[in-house]
Structure 1
Amino acid sequence: MKIIWFDFGGVLSPSIPDLFTSYYLKTGIPPAILQRGMKEVADDMNMGVLTPIEKALITEAEWGARIRQKIALSSPELDLSRAQLEMFGAQWFDGILPNQLMIDLFLKVKAAGLMAGILTNNVVEWEDHWKRVIGISDLADAIVDSCKVGYRKPEAEIFDIAAKQAGVRPDECLLIDDMLENCMAAERSGWRSVHFKESSSVVAEIAQLLQKQEIAL
Structure 2
Amino acid sequence: MTTTDTTVWFDFGGVLTPTMAELYARYAEETGISPGRLRRAVADVGADLGMHPLAPLELGRISEAEWGGRVRAALRARHPGLDLGAARLERFGEQWLGGRPGNPVMAAAARAVRAAGHPVGLLTNNVPEWEGHWRRITAPAGRFDAVVDSCRVGVRKPDAAVFRIAAEASPTARHVLVDDLAENCAAAEAAGWRTVCFRDNAQASGDLSALLGIPLPGPGTPRAAGQVTSGRPARTP
Query: Matches of 2:129 and 2:140 in 1, distance apart?
Result: 19
1:135 alignment partner, SS class: helix
Give SS of 1:202's match. helix
Match of 2:200 among 194, 198, 201: 198
CA shift, 1:76, in A, is 1.1
**Counterpart code for 1:74:** R
**Residue 39 of structure 1 contacts residue 48 of structure 1 at CA under 8 Å; is this kept in 2?**
yes
Query: Counterpart of 2:123 in structure 1: which amino acid?
Result: L
Which residue type is aligned with residue 34 of structure 1?
Answer: L
Q: Does 1:38 align with 2:42?
A: yes
- Structure 1 stretches of 5 or more lacking a match? none
After superposition, the C-alpha distances for 1:115-169 in whole angstroms (9 at most, x for unaligned) are 1111000000011012112214760001100000011000000000001011224
Structure-1 separation of matches of 2:34 and 2:206: 35
Answer yes or no: is 1:146 the counterpart of 2:153: no
Matching residue of 1:210: 212
Which residue of the other structure, out of 7, 13, 31, is the alignment partner of 1:9?
A: 13
Task: Specify which of 128, 134, 137 is matched with residue 130 of structure 1.
Answer: 134
How many residue pairs are counted as aligned between the two chains?
212
Measured after TM superposition, the shift of residue 209 of structure 1 is 1.7
Aligned partner of 2:187 in structure 1 is 185
SS of the equivalent of 2:9 reads: strand
Runs of 4+ that moved beyond 6 A = none
Once the two structures are aligned, what percentage of the paired residues are identical?
45
Highest relative contact order (Cα 8 Å, sep 6+), 1 or 2? 2
TM-score for the superposition, normalised by structure 1: 0.94
User: CA separation in 1, counterparts of 2:93 and 2:162?
Assistant: 23
Distance of 1:137 and 1:76 partners within structure 2: 43
Q: Where does residue 164 of structure 2 map in the other structure?
A: 160
Aligned counterparts of 1:198 and 1:29: Cα–Cα separation in 2: 26
Q: 2:176 aligns with which of 174, 184, 192?
A: 174
Equivalent pair of 1:112/1:216 in contact (CA under 8 Å): no
What is the rounded CA distance, in whole Å, between the counterparts of 1:97 and 1:137 in structure 2? 12
The gaps in structure 2 that reach 5 residues or longer are: 217-237
1:144/1:198 Cα in 2 relative to 1: closer, same or farther (>3 Å)? same
1:113 aligns with 2:114: no
What's 2:71 paired with? 67
The structure with the greater share of residues assigned to helix is 1
